[in-house]
Amino acid sequence: MRRFGLPIVVLAVLGSVVATTPVANAENNGLAAKPPMGWSSWSFIRKAPTAAKIDAQADAIKSSGLAQHGFQYVNLDDFWMKCDSNGPTVDGNGRWVADTGKFPGGIKAVADHVHADGLKFGLYVTPGIAANAVKNNSPIAGTSFHAQDIAVTSTQEKNYNCKHMYGIDYSKPGAQAFIDSWAKQFADWGVDYLKIDGVGSPDIPDVKAWSQALRNSGRPIHFELSNNLSIADATTWQQYANGWRTQGDVECYCGTGGASFPLTDWKHVSARFDTASNWQQYAGPGGWNDLDSLEIGNGDNTGLTSDQRRSHLTLWAMASAPLLLGTDLTAIDATDKAMLTNDSVLSVDQDAIAAKRIVKSGNNQVWVKKEPSGAYVVALFNTGTSGNATITVTWSQVGITTGSVAVTDLWAQKAKGTVSGSYSATLRPGETRLIRAVPTS
């Protein structure tokens, strides 16, 4: 085994304010009191989802025991809809239809299977109205209006699969009714989570319309925005959604021959440290900073070492980010299953507090949050790709000013005794140490 040098790094504090229990300030639909946990199809299945594949992943969440540890959403991402040369094909009211070659029983049949496993079902949409709806001048359900009354054909909305989506003029009668009818259809299918992709600041009217439509759909539906949202509009995302992607895709798209593996690499994961820090203040009950999929489940095949995968989950947990697995859960790796069923670590995510980064010095970082019990959760990271580092943080930097501290290593799930003054950890490249520190006085 290669031995690395051990540079001692005593880190300086960047700020003295520790993240504590936040006040709810997000979408008022009563959902997402805690960050959602589950699975999403994009990372592994990508452009080839089928009913059988989604059903199999749902069954795997149940049979593996992940559901018992809080993983509950099964989200079908892009490429579920049928396309022709003019974009998404539509029903009689201008809404996308499922590709029955992939989903012979329709989307509701998949949702029913997921629900039968005791889980929740998520689906995917993009902003605007389909060109085929405009071409057909589809009537808007429940109104006397039609697609051509609300479409802005000079605006091309982003759609990564079928393309050919036009903008909507929400000042026009029938515009909100169109989104309402689509949301009601999703609710009738059994959708519990909706991701709207390809939205940005110019699409705030779409975000508002979908937020209203989902609240009025008759079914509780978590509303997630994607991707790479502008932090300048963070308070708007807070107001109208339950989560928002803070960066581009975590996938590296670096597999050969079109294969999914590797799903990501350390460069794409470690880029989230600065983003999580920048967005920290906007997370809280009702709405969360979404760092993208969690690529843990298939061992080293995902493109990360075991140390990097633990750091991956630790950062997401410290940020109280959604934990949506992107891996193949029908072939779950034993090491990764142990990570994903470590309730001591998962509880850090589910405490619903986004940690503050108090230290950044080269590859060495320290993050802190204070839980309602008075305990502090502290994460130390060596984000480098070579060279061990010994990281030392004082209790005063953490926010503990008097007495000694009882330390528990959350990954090892072992008490480490009482520690006075400061805490140190020597970490391999990509390794983390996650502790709960309880003042004894």
Active site residue 249: yes
CA–CA gap between residue 342 and residue 1 (Å, rounded):
27
Q: pLDDT tens-digit profile of 283-308?
A: 999 999 999 999 999 999 999 999 99
Strand partners, 379: 367, 434
Asked whether residue 25 is domain-assigned, the answer is: no
Share of the chain above pLDDT 70, in %: 95
Residues 308 and 337 in one domain: yes
Average pLDDT value for the chain:
94
Mean pLDDT, residues 102-112 taken together: 98
Q: Name which of 437, 360, 337 is nearest 396 in CA terms.
A: 437
Residues 289 and 361 in one domain: no
Last residue of one domain, picked from the residues 308, 324, 352:
352
Longest dimension (CA), the chain: 74
Q: Which pLDDT value is given to residue 191?
A: 98
Which is the catalytic residue, given 99, 112, 169, 249?
249
Strand partners, 390: 8, 426
Residues 289 and 391 in one domain: no
Residue 110 φ/ψ, nearest 5 degrees: -70, -45
Residue 287 φ/ψ, nearest 5 degrees: -160, 135
Residues 228 and 362 in one domain: no
Q: Which pLDDT value is given to residue 1?
A: 36
Q: Which pLDDT value is given to residue 23?
A: 53
Alpha carbon 347 to its chain centroid, in Å, reads: 16
Last residue of one domain, picked from the residues 307, 325, 352:
352
Type of residue found at 250:
V
**C-alpha torsion sign, points 195, 304, 300, 252:** positive
Last residue of one domain, picked from the residues 352, 379, 408:
352
Buried b (16+ CB within 10 A) or exposed e, 42-75: bbbbbeebbbebbbebbbbbbebebbebbbbbbb
Residues 64 and 140 in one domain: yes
Alpha carbon 25 to its chain centroid, in Å, reads: 19
pLDDT band of residue 255 (cuts 50, 70, 90) is confident
Residue 302 φ/ψ, nearest 5 degrees: -70, -15
Q: Name which of 196, 197, 195, 194 is nearest 184 in CA terms.
A: 194
Residues 75 and 221 in one domain: yes
Which domain range does residue 403 map to? Answer: 8-15+357-439
> Tokens representing 26?
């997000």
Q: pLDDT tens-digit profile of 169-199?
A: 999 999 999 999 999 999 999 999 999 999 9
Residues 81 and 119 in one domain: yes
**273 in the Ramachandran plot: left (φ > 0), alpha (ψ -120 to 50) or beta?**
alpha
Residues 251 and 388 in one domain: no
Asked whether residue 394 is domain-assigned, the answer is: yes
Q: Which pLDDT value is given to residue 21?
A: 57
Determine contact, residues 381/425, Cβ cutoff 8 Å. no
Mean pLDDT, residues 142-161 taken together: 98
CA–CA gap between residue 308 and residue 286 (Å, rounded):
29
> Tokens representing 410?
């959350």
Q: Which pLDDT value is given to residue 311?
A: 98
Q: pLDDT tens-digit profile of 354-411?
A: 999 999 999 999 999 999 999 999 999 999 999 999 999 999 999 999 889 999 999 9
Which is the catalytic residue, given 59, 192, 197, 290?
197
Above 60 in pLDDT, residue 13? no
Above 50 in pLDDT, residue 347? yes
**Total domains in the fold of the chain:** 2
CA–CA gap between residue 364 and residue 355 (Å, rounded):
16
Q: pLDDT tens-digit profile of 198-225?
A: 999 999 999 999 999 999 999 999 999 9
Residues 207 and 227 in one domain: yes
Residues 339 and 387 in one domain: no
Asked whether residue 310 is domain-assigned, the answer is: yes
Alpha carbon 105 to its chain centroid, in Å, reads: 28
Q: Name which of 173, 187, 186, 171 is nearest 142 in CA terms.
A: 173
Active site residue 197: yes
CA–CA gap between residue 130 and residue 177 (Å, rounded):
15
Asked whether residue 22 is domain-assigned, the answer is: no
Q: Name which of 190, 188, 177, 101 is nearest 145 in CA terms.
A: 177
CATH number of domain containing 419? 2.60.40.1180
CA–CA gap between residue 99 and residue 79 (Å, rounded):
8
Residues 275 and 393 in one domain: no
CA–CA gap between residue 61 and residue 59 (Å, rounded):
6
> Tokens representing 38?
């589950």
Asked whether residue 23 is domain-assigned, the answer is: no
